[in-house]
Amino acid sequence: MQSNIFFFISSIGFVVLAILAAVLVILTTRVVWSFLRILEKIENSLDKIGDTTKELIDELRDNVFFRMLVRPGRKARAKIVKNE
pLDDT in tens, 18-71: 999 999 999 999 999 998 898 888 777 766 667 777 788 788 878 777 777 776
Residue 12: the pLDDT is 95
What's the residue count for the chain?
Answer: 84
17 or 81: which leads in pLDDT = 17
| Residues 57 and 42: beta-carbon distance below 8 Å | yes
Q: Please report, as a single letter, which amino acid is at residue 75.
A: K
Q: Is the pLDDT of residue 74 over 60?
A: no
Number of structural domains the chain divides into = 1
Q: Is the model's pTM score more than 0.75?
A: no
Q: Tell me the residue range of the domain where 10 lies.
A: 2-83
